[in-house]
Structure 1
Amino acid sequence: MSDRPGFFLRDARPRDAETVHRLVVALAEYEKLGHEVKASAQDFYGALAAKRVRGLVAEVDGEPVGLCLWYETFSTFTGRAGVWIEDVFVEPAHRRLGIGRAFFQEVAKRAVAGGHARVEWSVLDWNAPALAFYRGIGAVGQDEWTDQRLSGEALLALAAEG
């Protein structure tokens, strides 16, 4: 798909499920959240096969070294779809090759081609290198918004109400 000096980007496929799982676990460990990973390679196989999530894999010398996963959202304010990037990760030994920028550029191209209004993602507030990178590509923090999450027991309890 996208051959650049030093690396190659291609679409993630269901058969990449083991690679996706490995890279998601590596991302979680980098973010000090490894204990939160419950997904299996089979989960990723199913999500990719059903196109609930889309992705790109970066390869260096034929070996997968990076991952970008996203899915479609909808903005009632714009009346148009958007893209939510769930995960971006490049193995530390392969950073500074331009893989991260290439991931965001490819997702941006696809978003524009698909008529999407925006591309969004979240980042941990302590991740200074990522924040600097995002500012460098023109991203603007949404400090007035905070992510909220309903999961686990709280999700089950709310679903079980009346």
Structure 2
Amino acid sequence: MIREATPDDIPVVLAMIRELAAYERVPQEARATEPQLKEALFGAHPAAFALIAEADGTPVGFALWFRNFSTWTGTHGVYLEDLYVRPEARGGGHGKALLAALAEICVARGYQRFEWSVLDWNEPSIGFYRSIGAEPMDEWTVYRLTGDALHELAAASPANAA
């Protein structure tokens, strides 16, 4: 069963985020807190959304996503930030069901893109994504600006010139 997350799901979503970070070999990177997730998912202006996969009433996976926008198509899309299914529930169709639910959101809302990133070494996920028809965007490289570099560039903003 796939359902929308509720505020009561925040602790289990955070636990699964930490499990995902450990799987991706960077447990120290999962620094989100319950109050942050509650605000992001259920605050006055939600920045993200989450779906929960359940087996026998127990959460076994989640998908956390947000809307993006394509200037080329003039439409929103879905960017899947995290997809995770607990190891004991893998192979039960929960990951595919979460992706299908997000695809359904895209189609129902007229969104023309559904995108996500995957680590190059994550062969099980890459194989799974290819099996459902997803294609890698080989011509694109993701860039990220964080930490000191982010702050240095922000300080160079014309708004900070005085």
Q: For residue 109 of structure 1, give the secondary structure of its aligned residue in structure 2.
A: helix
Other-structure match for 2:102: 107
> Do the aligned residues in 2 keep the contact of 1:25 with 1:34 (CA within 8 Å)?
yes
User: What amino acid does structure 2 have at the position aligned with 1:92?
Assistant: P
Aligned length: 155
> Do the aligned residues in 1 keep the contact of 2:103 with 2:114 (CA within 8 Å)?
yes
> Do the aligned residues in 2 keep the contact of 1:15 with 1:45 (CA within 8 Å)?
no
1:62 counterpart = 2:60:
no
Q: Structure 2 matches for 1:15-54, cutoff 5 A?
A: 15-50=8-43, 51-54=46-49
Q: How big is the shift at 1:136?
A: 0.5
Q: How big is the shift at 1:14?
A: 2.2
Other-structure match for 2:72: 77
> Do the aligned residues in 2 keep the contact of 1:84 with 1:119 (CA within 8 Å)?
yes
User: Structure 1: where are the runs of 5+ without partners?
Assistant: 1-7
> After the TM superposition, which parts of structure 1 deviate over 4 Å for at least 4 consecutive aligned residues?
none
Give the alignment's Cα RMSD to 1 decimal.
0.9
Give the distance between the partners of 2:57 and 2:110, measured in 1 at CA. Answer: 32
Q: Deviations over 1:4-39 (max 9, x none)?
A: xxxx21101222111110000000100101111111
Using the size of structure 1 for normalisation, the TM-score is 0.93
Using the size of structure 2 for normalisation, the TM-score is 0.93
Give the distance between the partners of 1:157 and 1:17, measured in 2 at CA. Answer: 33
User: Structure 2: where are the runs of 5+ without partners?
Assistant: none
Give the distance between the partners of 1:14 and 1:145, measured in 2 at CA. Answer: 36
Give the distance between the partners of 1:52 and 1:20, measured in 2 at CA. Answer: 16
Q: Deviations over 1:33-66 (max 9, x none)?
A: 1111111111111111132111111112221110
Give the distance between the partners of 1:120 and 1:13, measured in 2 at CA. Answer: 24
Give the distance between the partners of 1:132 and 1:28, measured in 2 at CA. Answer: 20
